[in-house]
Structures are given as structure tokens and as C-alpha cells.
């Protein structure tokens, strides 16, 4: 009996020690308790490489405020005024910061054995498995496309459950779930070209909607610029640039942020929310991509200024992605004039942003934000249209087969060559096959939890989602053999980055039109050395060899993110 009592005592002692560690370091499963109790189960108390851990921070008060509920630092209000939310300048690289010693620490697990994250994601992705995933992605596209052509063409979309076409509801033009709206007209794919031509010739119809989102009005520059430069006619690029500059001049004088909905007649902001998702996403994307394509300096100037404001007011969490303590970086929705938090949800469209950060070289921040969206995918097998990060639950439950997370996964793999992103792509492929494949294609998930479906396969599933998945696994694709000769539009179309597109006889006309500086309302123009992209956290120009086959994000931080979305 004595030995049994001894064994029982040791077991109880071990359980007690685990309980202490669980409470102190937050190493147990997250159950959302931080919303109600003054104990933090996040990683705010985790000791980082820079020194002792900081006290838990409350959502409605200063760090360590007693008596209030603890929660993510994303909830902490910003200080009003032009200095609100300013991040410290990027830390200077220290000795050997890009060498094996640095990455040995950052990657974690060295000398301690491989944890579950390293076992699952580290190491090479077998060529046979890559080929299998490539063929699965190709088969996914072929199955969807063949069924569209057989059952839906020439209508806009396919109803994959009932195997028929999906076109406009001409009896009810307000049915936006079915109708494509351009100039307040209900359109098919063919009708769209006619209506676009009419609008370019006669202007906006008088009975049309006067409100538009910033992304809708400000994302024409790439396509219209190409059209002008191919035709030698400045009209198309001129109207697109005028729209971009008009929106840019409406930004807040205090924060430099733009809202998400504007009245095009009055110039008043109808929607004052500033974020990275719906209503604003492609506006930022096309400022950078227009510069890449056309080489117009003012496009990069505007993008740099916008990115700086985004970092100052939208970015919350710890300063560095892969080091330090505190919550992981996240970009929240704020009021464009004050920079104050407006809500606690993010939408699935924001998942495009890590891919844009890759294009500007801010790969470290891209890794963290991508990991957050991937954690949500792992929890639900899809991305809910809106996810409430405070409640650890979806606000809007459907998933219409969007491509944004796949796009960022593809671009991060191209930048890092880390097999981790092939595993991510495989997870996405297998989830789509398991939960969305139906009789005649792939269906929208009506509810990401119960996996019920809607009878709709949107066109971007074929043009973007399947395309990025295929390219992710097709190592020998000609697109990957061309260096930097190709770029993707916001709709996933491949365009050639040719030198002749950087030549136009009307450049001076654009810079002088309106007589207003495109960047600073005060007239300041950055000097040439200021035109570098604002890179918030990347210290290295390339991914070191030591990191290529290890986790892109230190496993302790990956586990932290999984906890914060309720995955573990």
C-alpha cells in the first residue's frame, strides 16, 4: 500500500506543477476566460528575448490595470491625436542578426527536440506529394470549369448543386446577391462591356447610386493604365488617376487614413471605418502595383504614406513578429479620423495583405498575419466572412470560396521557399475537396461550423483560388521561370511587366494636373532616398538557408496564435 500512496503522491505533485505552469505561462488551452476573469491565458506574461515579461494588459485600461478583465492588447485604446498608435522605429540589426545564431534562437526548438509544430511542418515537402497536390488543384479547376461550360455558360456563374446557370435577377435589380451592379445596372458578362463603354462616353447616369467604396473607385489604375499605354490614348489612365487622387485628397489630416465608403458627388465619407479588408483592400494594392507596372513615382509615394499610416494606427500587438512578448501583430478596424478601434472583427478579404507585404519586402510581418488567418482556417476548415477576434468566433459564417488566403500563401512560398506553405496549401486543398465539392462543382459554405452549403460557385474560385493553388505546387510553371516579368491583378489575371509600359508621353500632364501634390497636402514631396518602402520589421534582404526548412514562425508563437483563435 505504501508504494501506491507514493505513486499517487507523485502523480498529484506533477499535476499540481502542470497547473501552476498553465496559470503562469498560459500553456494550456484557451477557453475565452480572458473575457470575464482577471487572469490572462494569453502570452502577455511570456518571457521574451529582450528581458522579463510584462504584466497582463487589460482591454479597457492601461497595462496591468487591476480589477478589469485581461485580454488581447489589440483592444487597448489609442491615445487621441496625431501621435496615436505610433510604432517605434524598426530596431537596428544587431551583430549576427541575420546569421545562424539569430535564426537558431528565433526558430525555437534547437537542442530541445522537435515539438508537434516542427514535426508536422518542418522539413522538405516530398516531390511526389507536391505533384499529387498539383494534380489535385488542376482537377479541381477542370471539374469546376467543365461543369460551368456544360451547365451555365454564358451566364455569370454556376449553381453547382442544381447544375444550372446563375444570372441577373432582372425582375429585382436590388437583389445584389445575384446581380452584378455597375452604374446601377444589372449585368451579365457581356452586358458589362456595353455598360462600361456607355459610362466612359456619357459619364455616370443621373439616377445611379452616388455612394461607392474606396476600393471600387480607386482600383482601376492598372487596367486603365495598360489600356492607355497600349492605345497611346491618355484618357483611360487620366480618369483612373483623377479618381485615385480625389480619394487621396479626402484622407484625414490627422491620421492619413481613408474611410471605406464615400459619396462621389459631395466628397463626404459615408463609411468612416478604416481597415485592410472590404472597401479598401485593392485601393492599397493598386497604389503599389501601379508603381511596379508603370514606374510612376507618385504611386509609390502615396503607397508609402498609406503604409506608414496603416502601421501607426491599424497595427496592434508586439513590435516584432518573431521575437518579444505580447500578442501577435494584427491589423484592426479603426475610425479614420481618430484612429480609435471601431469593432473587434476582421474580414476574410484582409487575408490578401500578407501577400502585399511580401511585394514590399515586409516578409516578417506577413508571416505573422498569415499565420493568424491560417489558424482560423485550421479551426473551421474555411475562413468565415467575418471573424470576431475578441469572442473567438465568427460574426458572419459563410465562406464563398475566396482566394485571398491562398494568394498570400503562394506569394509567401515564392518569397521564402519554405515547405511550411506547401503544407498550408495542402490543408486548404483537402478542406475544399472535403467540404465544398458537390455534384457539378464547388459550393459556397453557408456556415463554416456545420458545413452547410449554398448553391453558388463564384467566378473568382476558378480564376483565383484554383489558379494560386495550382501555381503553389507547380514548381516548373513558366511563370516561375521568368523572374519578375509577370504580376497578378487584383482579380488574379497575369499581366506582363514590360519596359514599354513605363513609357508615356503624358507623364508631365499627370503630375501637373490639378496643381496639387499627390502625397502631402502641405506640398512636401519625399526626396529620392525617402522613396523606399516603409518596412516595419524585416532585417534581412533574403531568407537564410538555416531557416528554409524550419518553421517560418517560432513554434511558441504559432501555438500562441492557435490559442488566441480557440484552436487549442
CA–CA distance, 307 with 292 (Å, rounded to integer): 16
How confident is the model over 128-187, as pLDDT tens digits?
999 999 999 999 999 999 999 999 998 889 999 999 998 777 777 666 666 654 333 333
- pLDDT for 38 equals 28
Rounded CA-CA distance 503/485 in Å is 16
Contacts of 490 (CB under 8 A, 6+ apart): 219, 222, 281, 282, 285, 286, 289
pLDDT, the chain, mean: 77
Residue 369 pLDDT greater than 80, yes or no: yes
The rounded distance, in Å, linking the Cα atoms of 20 and 197 is: 69
DSSP for 463-479, written as a single string? IIIHHHHHHHH-TT-GG
Per-state percent for the chain, helix, strand, coil, to nearest 5: 45, 10, 45
Q: What is the pLDDT of residue 176?
A: 64
- Higher-pLDDT residue of 524, 451: 451
Q: Is the CB of residue 195 less than 8 Å from the CB of residue 187? A: yes
Q: What is the mean pLDDT of residues 292-297?
A: 94
Question: What is the chain's alpha carbon radius of gyration, rounded to the nearest angstrom?
Answer: 25
Residues 6+ apart with CB under 8 A from 272: 259, 260, 335, 336, 337, 342
Confidence of residue 499 (pLDDT cuts 50, 70, 90): confident
Which position has the grid cell 494584427?
A: 330
| pLDDT tens digit sequence for 62-114 | 333 333 334 577 877 555 444 444 444 333 333 333 333 333 333 343 444 56
pLDDT of residue 484: 74
Residue 89's pLDDT is 39
The reported pLDDT for the residue numbered 509 is: 59
For residues 131 and 234, give the distance between their C-alpha atoms in angstroms, rounded to a whole number: 45
Q: What is the DSSP string of 247-280?
A: HHTTS-TTT----SEEETTT--EEE-EE-SSTTT
Percentage of the chain exceeding pLDDT 90: 56
Model pLDDT, residue 275:
96
pLDDT digits (tens, 9 = 90+) for 38-67: 223 233 333 333 333 333 333 333 333 333
Say if CB 173 and CB 179 are below 8 A apart.
Answer: yes
Average pLDDT of the segment spanning 461-481: 94
- The most confident of 121-135, 199-213, 299-313, by mean pLDDT: 299-313
* 64 in Cβ contact with 55 (< 8 Å): yes
Which residue pairs, CB below 8 angstroms and at least 24 apart, start in 148-156? 148/441, 148/457, 148/462, 150/440, 151/440, 154/188, 154/189, 154/190, 155/188, 155/189, 156/180, 156/188, 156/189, 156/459
| pLDDT for the residue 199 | 62
3-class SS string, 334-388? EECCCCCECCCEEEHHHHHHHHHHHHHCCHHHHHHHHHHHHHHHHHHCCCCCEEE
What span, in angstroms and rounded, lies between the C-alpha atoms of 449 and 446?
Answer: 9
Predicted pLDDT of residue 167: 79
**3-class SS of residue 173:** coil
Q: What is the pLDDT of residue 168?
A: 77
Concatenated DSSP letters for 195-232? Answer: HHHHHHHH-S-TTS--EEEHHHHS--HHHHHHHHHHHT
Task: Report the DSSP pairing between strands 185-187 and 437-438.
Answer: unpaired
Specify the pLDDT at position 9: 54
pLDDT tens digits for range 540-564: 445 566 666 688 999 999 999 999 9
In this structure, what C-alpha cell is assigned to residue 44? 502577455
In this prediction, residue 437 carries a pLDDT of 98
Binding residues for Ca(2+): 490
User: Is 433 a residue whose pLDDT tops 50?
Assistant: yes
Average confidence (pLDDT) over 324-340 = 94
pLDDT at residue 259 greater than cutoff 90: yes
Q: For residue 101, what pLDDT is reported?
A: 36
pLDDT of residue 332: 97
10 Å Cβ neighbour count for 519? Answer: 21
> Which set of grid coordinates corresponds to residue 432?
475544399
**Mean pLDDT computed over 219-246:** 93
The mean pLDDT of 502-513, rounded to a whole number, is: 64
E strand map for 150-195? 157-159, 164-166, 180-182, 185-187
For residue 115, name the pLDDT band (cuts at 50, 70, 90).
confident
**What residues pair up with 488 in beta bridges, in sequence order?**
494
The more confident residue out of 4 and 217 is 217
pTM of the full predicted structure? 0.77
Say whether pLDDT at 212 is over 70: yes
More reliable by pLDDT, 525 or 120: 120
Residue 454 confidence (pLDDT): 95
Instruction: Give the model's pLDDT for residue 359.
Output: 94
Amino acid at each position: 500500500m505504501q508504494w501506491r500512496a507514493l505513486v499517487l503522491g507523485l502523480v498529484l505533485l506533477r499535476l499540481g506543477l502542470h497547473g501552476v505552469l498553465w496559470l503562469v505561462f498560459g500553456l494550456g488551452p484557451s477557453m475565452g476566460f480572458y473575457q470575464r476573469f482577471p487572469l490572462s491565458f494569453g502570452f502577455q506574461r511570456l518571457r521574451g528575448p529582450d528581458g522579463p515579461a510584462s504584466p497582463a494588459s487589460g482591454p479597457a485600461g492601461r497595462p496591468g490595470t487591476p480589477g478589469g478583465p485581461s485580454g488581447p492588447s489589440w483592444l487597448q485604446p489609442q491615445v487621441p491625436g496625431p501621435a496615436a498608435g505610433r510604432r517605434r522605429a524598426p530596431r537596428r540589426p544587431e551583430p549576427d542578426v541575420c546569421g545562424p545564431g539569430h535564426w537558431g534562437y528565433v526558430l525555437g526548438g534547437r537542442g530541445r527536440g522537435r515539438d508537434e509544430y516542427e514535426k508536422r511542418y518542418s522539413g522538405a515537402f516530398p516531390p511526389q506529394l507536391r505533384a499529387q497536390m498539383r494534380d489535385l488543384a488542376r482537377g479541381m479547376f477542370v471539374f469546376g470549369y467543365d461543369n460551368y461550360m456544360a451547365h451555365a455558360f454564358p451566364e455569370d456563374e454556376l449553381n453547382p448543386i442544381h447544375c444550372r446557370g446563375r444570372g441577373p435577377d432582372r425582375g429585382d435589380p436590388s437583389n445584389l446577391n445575384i446581380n452584378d451592379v455597375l452604374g446601377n445596372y444589372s449585368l451579365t458578362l457581356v452586358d458589362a462591356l456595353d455598360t462600361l463603354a456607355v459610362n466612359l462616353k456619357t459619364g455616370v447616369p443621373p439616377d445611379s447610386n452616388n455612394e461607392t467604396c474606396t476600393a471600387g473607385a480607386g482600383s482601376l489604375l492598372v487596367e486603365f493604365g495598360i489600356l492607355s499605354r497600349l492605345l497611346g490614348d491618355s484618357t483611360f489612365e487620366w480618369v483612373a488617376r483623377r479618381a485615385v487622387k480625389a480619394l487621396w485628397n479626402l484622407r484625414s489630416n490627422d491620421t492619413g487614413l481613408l474611410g471605406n465608403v464615400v459619396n462621389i458627388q459631395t466628397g463626404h465619407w459615408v463609411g468612416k471605418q478604416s481597415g485592410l479588408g472590404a472597401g479598401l483592400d485593392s485601393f492599397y494594392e493598386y497604389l503599389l502595383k501601379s508603381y511596379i507596372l508603370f514606374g510612376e513615382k507618385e504611386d509609390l509615394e502615396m503607397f508609402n504614406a498609406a503604409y506608414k499610416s496603416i502601421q501607426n494606427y491599424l497595427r496592434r500587438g508586439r513590435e516584432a513578429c518573431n521575437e518579444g512578448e505580447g500578442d501577435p501583430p494584427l491589423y484592426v478596424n479603426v475610425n479614420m479620423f481618430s484612429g480609435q478601434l471601431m469593432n473587434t472583427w476582421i474580414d476574410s478579404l484582409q487575408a490578401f495583405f500578407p501577400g502585399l507585404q511580401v511585394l514590399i519586402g515586409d516578409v516578417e510581418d506577413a508571416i505573422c498575419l498569415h499565420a493568424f488567418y491560417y489558424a482560423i482556417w485550421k479551426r473551421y476548415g474555411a475562413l468565415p466572412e467575418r471573424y470576431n477576434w475578441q469572442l473567438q468566433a465568427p460574426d458572419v459564417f459563410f465562406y464563398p470560396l475566396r482566394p485571398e488566403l491562398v494568394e498570400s500563401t503562394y506569394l509567401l512560398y515564392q518569397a521564402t521557399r519554405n515547405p511550411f506553405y506547401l503544407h498550408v496549401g495542402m490543408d486548404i486543398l483537402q478542406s475544399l475537396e472535403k467540404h465544398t465539392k458537390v455534384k457539378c462543382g464547388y459550393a459556397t459554405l453557408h456556415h463554416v461550423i456545420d458545413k452547410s452549403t449554398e448553391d453558388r460557385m463564384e467566378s473568382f474560385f476558378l480564376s483565383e483560388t484554383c489558379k494560386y493553388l495550382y501555381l503553389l505546387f507547380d514548381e516548373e510553371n513558366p511563370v516561375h521561370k521568368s523572374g519578375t516579368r509577370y504580376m497578378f491583378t487584383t482579380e488574379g489575371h497575369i499581366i506582363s511587366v514590360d519596359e514599354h509600359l513605363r513609357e508615356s508621353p503624358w507623364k508631365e500632364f499627370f503630375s501637373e494636373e490639378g496643381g496639387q501634390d499627390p502625397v502631402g497636402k502641405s506640398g512636401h514631396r519625399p526626396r529620392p532616398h525617402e522613396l523606399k518602402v516603409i518596412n516595419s520589421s524585416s532585417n534581412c534582404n533574403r531568407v537564410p538557408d538555416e531557416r528554409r526548412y524550419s518553421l517560418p514562425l517560432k513554434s511558441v508563437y504559432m501555438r500562441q496564435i492557435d490559442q488566441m483563435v480557440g484552436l487549442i
